[in-house]
Structure 1
Amino acid sequence: MKHAGAASNRDWLGLKGRVCAVTGAGGGIGAEVARQLAEAGARVALLDRDLDNVKGVADAIAKTGADVMSLACDVTQADSILQAATQIEAAFGSVTLLVNNAGVLFADALLDISLDKWNRLLAVNLSGYLLCSQVFGRQMVAAGGGSMVHIASISASVPQPYGGAYSVSKAGVMMLSRQLAVELGAQGVRSNVVSPAMIRTPMSEGIYANPDVRERREQIVPARRISTPEDIAGAVLFLASERADYISGQEILVDGALTQAWLGLIPRPGFEKQDAEASSVA
């Protein structure tokens, strides 16, 4: 969506003054995306089911002088989203950037997961994205355009065993984004996905509490580190910005080249690092 005044060097991303809604903004990726959007000059509404957490994040951002607000919002409930959208519009104007980020993760084998647990995860991770896209998408269409960025996962393309409905939900997010891009493109609305791989957030902190597990994970990533919310937020801001004005229906995978390393993890005598080093010396 083009806005009055092209992005200058001081506002390279063209986000200054944009009205943005970020779901699941009480911590992790959502909180960092909100912080970076505010730093770029956007007016940011932080939405989360936990009002105390999201208010704390918003208060910290507000100390920088940014325009922010925090709202309790349950993304599984259309009425809750509509109420939040109405409040944002009254305070800041129409939302022209939505970051769908709220998510949950339950461990379960597919043969054992209850339908209730399956539906609860899909309600947040997939149906919640649809409901937010509907409510805020209507504001974007009325405003003449906008941008949606949906947080998916490497698990959308690579199955995560014993993750219950998680991989299925994230694969659904990928197709939801593509379909939104096609259906709303003529109204000036773009839709894209950012997919993290291994990332350290409050939701995954239990995994990284064990230093042995953390080190083993770091060793299989070519970048030799686990990603951070800052890594993901940078990709989100780019896709949200005027610099990505002709990019829609796409995915940015933020994985430190993990998905390119699978063959290197398979034993292949004669084609391993020590073999290559010995060959070069010879």
Structure 2
Amino acid sequence: MMMSESWLKLTNQVCVVTGATGGMGEKICFEFAKQGAVVVLIDIKAAALAALKQKLETETGATVYVENCDVTDPAAVEAASRSIVAEAGRIDVLVNTAGILKFAPLEDLKYETWQQVLKVNLDGYFLTAQTFGKVMKAQGHGSMVHISTVASLAPETYSGAYSTSKAGVNMLSKQIAAEWGQYGVRSNVLMPCLVKTPMSMPFYADPEVENGRKKLTANKRIGTVQDIADGVLFLASDRASYVNGAALPVDGGFNMMMGDQIPKPGGRKQYAIDHETD
């Protein structure tokens, strides 16, 4: 039996996506549009925003608004909020995807780079959540989904401030949930890992790297932006109305496979077969 796209109940919901022109953000925007949502694109890339707006409208028929906004600028975020409410009437969903990654060993990491990553990955999420959250509180409803990473739970070594910034996102989301749940506002994080995104694609240029990474997951495959978008839409929707302050791993089971990586003589499965007892 085919399931109607209206199952998620996102039709006519005003869904704001930061970092909209990135590969992850763009896919999320398309999935919202396919559900009949009103999509608001936020990014600092004006030309890319215009192109994405046209593409979404042409291919899905969705109502699309554009905000050329630097999410690290409080005044710009406030102006974007006023503009969205004036144009669309409300803000039902916020999805924070804007983020950067700057590799460096800690001993070599420049303070300026540390600040830059925290400003985009954490300050930007705080500013949009705080500003758009005020609108949601006044409405008495709203849902936020923040893109984090499994590397927020265990550090991705030599990734500079990345893991630290995303660990901050996890706690920010929990605090929003704890303080604003009483006003009908939900906040959750989605934690990808071993997923092909524009940020991670260079890792997979080497087939040996891709094959090695596949082996680390329970699913034995690398994730896609579709996997991320599917998780985001569920958390954003009223189908997750009693999910608040949660962190959803979208990692093919990578987070539970540590024990499977511990070698045993002959291989873990063969060892179990050889030593099977009644």
TM interval, shorter chain, is over 0.9
Residue 207 (structure 1) aligned with residue 203 (structure 2) = yes
| Superposition deviation, residue 73 in structure 1 | 1.3
Is the CA contact (8 Å cut-off) linking 2:5 and 2:35 kept in structure 1? no
Cα distance in 1 for partners of 2:78, 2:47 equals 20
* 1:89 has 2:85 as partner: yes
The two structures have a TM-score, normalised by structure 1, of 0.93
CA distance in 2, matches of 1:209, 1:16: 38
In structure 2, how many angstroms separate the alpha carbons of the residues matched to 1:237 and 1:10?
11
Change in 2 beyond 3 A, CA 1:262/1:10: closer
Q: 2-side partners of 1:177 and 1:86: how far apart?
A: 23
What are the Cα deviations for residues 87-132 of structure 1, in whole angstroms up to 9, with x where unaligned? 2222211111100110000001112211111010000000100000
- In structure 2, what is the equivalent of residue 113 of structure 1? 109
Aligned to 2:255: 259
Aligned with 2:156: secondary structure? coil
The structure-2 alpha-carbon separation of the partners of 1:59 and 1:120, relative to structure 1 and needing over 3 Å to count, comes to same
Q: 1:22 aligns with which of 17, 21, 25?
A: 17
Counterpart for residue 37 of structure 2: 42
State the shift of 1:274 in Å.
Answer: 2.3
* Match for residue 237 of structure 1 among 228, 233, 236: 233
1:56 corresponds in structure 2 to: 51
Are 1:165 and 2:147 counterparts?
no
- Cα 1:154–1:10, aligned 2, differ >3 Å: closer, same or farther? closer
Residue in 2 that maps onto 1:3? none
Whole-angstrom CA distance in 2 between matches of 1:50 and 1:199:
24
Alpha carbons of structure 1 residues 17 and 207: separation in structure 2 relative to 1, 3 Å = same
For 1:59 and 1:201, the matched residues in 2 are separated by 22
Give how far 1:84 is off.
1.8
Q: Distance in 2 between matches of 1:109 and 1:196?
A: 23
Q: CA deviation at 1:47?
A: 0.8
Give the alignment partner of residue 213 of structure 2, picking from 217, 223, 233. 217
Whether the aligned pair in 2 keeps the contact of 1:27 and 1:54 (CA below 8 Å) is: no
CA contact (8 A) 2:24 2:198 kept: no
1:271–1:204 CA distance, 2 compared to 1 (3 A): closer
Q: Considering only aligned residues, what root-mean-square deviation do their CA atoms show, in Å?
A: 1.9
The structural deviation recorded for 1:277 is: 4.3
Q: Secondary structure of the residue that 1:163 maps to in structure 2?
A: coil
Number of corresponding residues: 275
Q: How does 1:125-164 map to 2 (within 5 A)?
A: 125-164=121-160
Q: Is the 8 A contact 1:200 1:226 kept in 2?
A: yes
- Tell me whether 207-216 or 231-240 shows the greater mean CA deviation: 207-216
Q: Which runs of 5+ in 1 are unaligned?
A: 1-7
**SS where residue 158 of structure 1 aligns?**
coil
- Contact kept, 8 Å, 1:270 with 1:276, in 2: the verdict is no
Q: Quote how far apart the aligned CAs of 1:29 are.
A: 1.4
Shift of 1:271: 6.5
Matched residues in 2 for 1:39 and 1:148: separation?
A: 19
Partner Cα distance (1:191, 1:253) in 2: 15
- 8 A contact 1:27–1:53 mirrored in 2: no
Deviation of 1:270 (Å): 6.7
After superposition, the C-alpha distances for 1:15-74 in whole angstroms (9 at most, x for unaligned) are 111111100010221111111111111101011111222332222111121111222111
